[in-house]
Amino acid sequence: MNIKMGAAETHRTGTTAIPKILGMLAALRQSPAGSVIYSQVEIMLQGLLDEHRDVEDAYFVLIGQLLDAYASHLRQGSALQVQVSLLRSRIQPPLSTA
């Protein structure tokens, strides 16, 4: 297993910690025991990354459904309905507070 995170992936997850952690542990790969430890840490980090993506995707779906439900209660063609539709079309992962 090899966790590869490019700039887009780092932006999607909002974290640069995983490559930094693996970089700090890279020297472990020089010994057989260290290589096993490195591989286990890499697997655990990949699991955390996958879980983070799943949670982020679930929030994305939930926010989309809430905006759709809200927009359906607004008068068709009203300024607020158009704004909500535009907002809905712009929301894409990653979701961030920025």
Task: Give the pLDDT band of residue 89 (cuts 50, 70, 90).
Answer: confident
Residue 96 lies in a domain: no
Q: How many domains does the chain have?
A: 1
Classify 73 as helix, strand or coil.
coil
Q: State the pLDDT at residue 22.
A: 92
Assess whether pLDDT exceeds 70 at residue 6. no
Q: Which domain holds residue 38?
A: 7-90
C-alpha to C-alpha distance for 73 and 71, rounded to whole angstroms: 5
Among the listed residues 18, 24, 27, the one whose alpha carbon sits nearest the alpha carbon of residue 47: 18
For tokens 């693996």, name the residue.
Answer: 22
Task: Give the pLDDT band of residue 68 (cuts 50, 70, 90).
Answer: very high
Residue 1 lies in a domain: no
pTM of the predicted model, to two decimals? 0.65
Indicate the DSSP class of residue 26: G
pLDDT digits (tens, 9 = 90+) for 41-53: 999 999 998 998 8
In this structure, the chain runs to a length of 98
Assess whether pLDDT exceeds 90 at residue 1. no
